[in-house]
Structure 1
Amino acid sequence: MLSGVNVALGVTGSIAAVNVVEIVHELRRRGANVRAVMSDSARGIVHPWSVEFATDEEVITEITGGVEHVALCGREGWADVLLIAPATANTVGKIAGAIDDTPVTTCATTALGADLPVVIAPAMHEPMYDHPGVLDAIECVEEWGVSFVSPRIEEGKAKIATTDAIALASAQAAGPSPLSGERIVVSAGATAESIDPVRVLTNRSSGKTGRAVARACYVAGAEVTLIHALVGPHPVEAGEECDPATYAEVESVESSAELSEAALSAAAKADAYVSVAAISDYTIEPEDEKIRSGEDLSLDLLPSPKVVDAVREANPELPIVGFKTETSGDDEAMVEAAREIADRVGMSFVVANDASVMGEEETRTLFVGDDVAEHRGTKAEIGEAVASELAGVLVRENCREE
């Protein structure tokens, strides 16, 4: 996601600076190269040696005759993106006013003048974040194209965003953005059909692939709606380190009927629909009370409506990407099943895989369109491949319209 991206990391004097080593590790884990710039106030909270150890690079703590700000963030500078995390209210106000009295604010002015992408992750007490002048400063620099990673409002504090949210925002800002301006709807997870108030019929889908596709579309510049069903069968909890709300507008559903309703509503305003969710093929008329155990029981299963068929009927021209899971382990059978659903619905392409990868991190898929292409890797890497292929589909669609 950040492979080969050069991130200049500005650290200012918020107590959240204690998280800087963790932020650096997350950026580097995702492939980024990191060089840090620290204000004097930040050095009073975290020693530059700690940051130097984390980045494996010398930390800039003052601007000298070496014009470090230009070498780092100028038009021909090293950085691909300037990330300021954490950013204090004082720093945000100075950036808005082009005040350069710390190495971090000097780098910010240089970056903005050089059209270098800038990402800011503010952290401060909540009353400071709500100050009209701070809000005006944020609005001002956002109009200049600066990306803000919203803080978490907890315990009267505007706490710095999660490391995942910061890394995602940095990746999105660093580009490229082939899905910029596109509205993408992604479904994920396992639907569950109620048998009674306690029991459900569901499947083993973890939702990992669907979330990976949504994340990749966000990083590629899209506005993402994630319709999320259950996860094996537990729901995704808000506030997790990888909370989907950091990269998508999330709508939680449970049954196939709820997912169908949400998908039809979201697809009506979308530029593409990616159906990754493992949707129940059967539903049931639920009992009003818990079914007593200890006796033989037969359930009458009813076919569930096909969500992609309903979306296609309501949106004849909408690009749709499907996922098809088989248990045979045979490539020819997977391709045949993928082509059947692609032809029936009119899909742009179908991602076929074997059910054995459900819940696993590594996966192997076949992208079935006019040709068949194999993709192996983590589900994050498969998500990136889907986003890239989808971007190509939308380019071709836009060219035809013109």
Structure 2
Amino acid sequence: MSFDLSVMSSKNIIVAVTGGIAAYKSAILVRRLKDYGFNVRVVMTQGAQAFITPLTFQALSGNTVHTELLDTEAESGMGHIELARWADLILVAPASCDTMAKFAAGLADDLLSTLYLASKAPVWVAPAMNQQMWAAKATQRNLNTLVDDGVHVIMPNAGSQACGDTGLGRMPEPEALAAQVQQYFHQAQRAIAEKFGLLAGKRVVITAGPTREAIDPVRYISNHSTGKMGFAIAAACYAAGAQVTLLAGPVSLDTPNGVERINVSSAIQMLEQSLALLDQGCDIFIATAAVADYRVAQVAEHKIKKAGDELDVSLVKNPDIVATIAQQQQRPFMVGFAAETRNIEEYATGKLLVKKLDMIACNDVSRSDIGFASDQNAMTVFFAQQYKLARRELEKAPKQEIAQQLVEAIHDALQHHKTPV
């Protein structure tokens, strides 16, 4: 699963480690949360320090580990208040029986229990303990109290335990816990985007990557497109609140989180799927795919054997997908792309007019530092005349940043978009 690191990098997670053999898993948990891009600080109880050292967590988190209620190095010595204000989420993993009891009773006799009461951040606990301690009436009573208080409890797994018993009480695997945290923030961000994003409520269809036009069962005609730009735009549209469907040619890329993906191979397949999605409803059509201009007139049923120095293959013109969609009665806002090697502005503006597009983004693929296969791009955006918007120069930047700027350009044009062109 892919995810937006720019969202996660602004989120602060406190991982609180309490006494129990499962504390060793917390080290992996911190590492995985860092992999997702979160800022992580670690709080340890005295019991936790009997199982694993603060130095381990300091190395993994990149931050000083907090163990004392009154921190002489913190502002005014009130470290727990500073931590409480810093956190976007507090994850107690493992959560011992003793810690759950303190939380339920409202005690505040150490750093973690005080932090629990002082913070407005959501609190998650992942209990880990002996199976009989978990089943005890007092523990279950405390569990119910925590749930009633709004604490999110990640229930323990069943299995063999360090003490030799078998049953409920094992802390879930750290990879699963980190994924739950990532998904929580992703869903929260999505809810905001669907309400306030630049493309909130819009249905977007994006074509991306190359097409392959078969010559015989093992050979085909294609191009150098990797689909990176189209996939970046799909992710940016989704982050802006849109419902996104991605028509992907043959590429080796992970599907952006939240995006519906339909794989196609040939230009004909891409056109058929585009028309079908248009019938289902489409507000914005973004054609980034490098569609083959021609296809083989007659595809060989079997592999063509090598014979002689020449091979004659008859080609016929493929349909122009973006122009075809632009001519439909229920026409969406049309965004085209042009990859050129010379006369960039002339060719781009010509396509904009002839294909009846609303907007076109053009890049110079003769440059070795941008375009095909590169993670960088630079584009010039032109708008149809009726929008009265000046061209935009998108300077060289990672394709994710270019995609975000393109979304902003689409949003600005949509503010002027009253009737189909």
TM-score above 0.5, yes or no: yes
Q: Deviations over 1:364-394 (max 9, x none)?
A: 2111124222212111111111122222233
Distance in 2, matches of 1:308 and 1:39, equals 58
**Would you say the 8 A contact 1:179–1:221 is kept in 2?**
yes
Shift of 1:283: 1.0
Contact 2:27-2:57 within 8 A present in 1 as well: no
1:286 aligns with 2:299: yes
Give the Cα separation in 2 of the matches to 1:262 and 1:207.
17
Residue from 381, 388, 391 that aligns with 2:411: 391
Match in the other structure for 1:210: 230
CA distance in 2, matches of 1:321, 1:273: 6
Distance 2:290 2:55 in 1: 48
Whole-Å Cα distance in 1 between the matches of residues 324 and 225 of structure 2?
A: 22
Query: Which of 332, 351, 359 in structure 2 is aligned with 1:349?
Result: 359
CA pair 52-17 structure 1, distance change in 2 beyond 3 A: closer
TM-score, L = length of structure 2? 0.65
Deviation at 1:341, TM superposition (A): 1.8
State which structure, 1 or 2, has the greater radius of gyration over its C-alpha atoms.
2
1:20 aligned residue = 30
Letter in 1 for 2:301: D
CA distance in 1, matches of 2:290, 2:259: 19
SS at match of 2:11: strand
Matches of 1:99 and 1:395 in 2, distance apart? 55
Structure 1 residue matching 2:37: 3-state secondary structure: helix
Task: Determine the structure 1 residue equivalent to 2:276.
Answer: 265
Query: Structure 1 residues 374 and 245, CA, compared in 2 at 3 Å: closer, same or farther?
Result: closer
Residue in structure 1 matching 2:392, options 373, 382, 396: 373
1:144-163 correspondence runs (5 A): 160=176
**1:100, 1:109 within 8 Å by CA — same for their partners in 2?**
no
Picking from 235, 244, 269, the partner of 2:255 is 244
Task: Tell me if 1:169 matches 2:186.
Answer: yes
Structure 2: runs of 5+ lacking an equivalent: 72-76, 129-146, 153-171, 384-388
2-side partners of 1:274 and 1:377: how far apart? 20
Tell me the CA shift for residue 68 of structure 1: 7.2
Q: How high is the TM-score relative to the length of structure 1? A: 0.67
Note the 1:313-324 alignment, pairs <5 A. 313-314=327-328, 316-324=330-338
Is the contact made by 1:195 and 1:201 (CA closer than 8 Å) also made in structure 2?
yes
Aligned CA distance change for structure 1 residues 2 and 159 (closer, same or farther; 3 Å): closer
Alpha-carbon separation, structure 2, partners of 1:109 and 1:380:
35
2:137 corresponding residue in structure 1: none
Hey, what's the Cα distance between the residues in 1 that align with 2:92 and 2:222? 42
Query: For residue 248 of structure 1, what is the amino acid of its counterpart?
Result: V
What aligned pairs does 1:19-38 form with structure 2 within 5 A after superposition? 19-27=29-37, 34-36=39-41
**Aligned counterparts of 2:332 and 2:325: Cα–Cα separation in 1:** 9
What amino acid sits opposite 1:36 in the alignment? R
Letter matched to residue 274 of structure 1: I
Q: Name the counterpart of 1:187.
A: 207
Deviation at 1:177, TM superposition (A): 2.5
Amino acid across the alignment from 1:323: F
SS at match of 1:368: strand
Q: Using the TM superposition, give the Cα deviation of residue 70 of structure 1 relative to its aligned residue in structure 2, in angstroms.
A: 7.2
Q: Secondary structure at the match of 2:345?
A: helix
Structure 2: how far apart are the matches of 1:178 and 1:110?
A: 29
Deviation at residue 104 of structure 1 after TM alignment = 12
State percent identity of aligned pairs: 26
Superposition deviation, residue 87 in structure 1: 8.3
Residues 85-164 of structure 1 mapped to structure 2, 5 A cutoff: 106=116, 110-111=120-121, 160=176
Greater shift, 358-367 or 18-27, is seen at 18-27
**1:115-147: CA deviation from partner (whole Å, max 9, x where unpaired):** xxx9x9x9x9xxxxxxxxxxxxxxxx9xx9x9x
Q: Following the alignment from structure 2 to structure 1, what is the Cα–Cα distance between the partners of residues 227 and 9?
A: 28
Letter in 1 for 2:287: S
Deviation sequence 1:324-378 (CA, Å, 0-9, x none): 00112xxxx2122221222233323211011232101122211112422221211
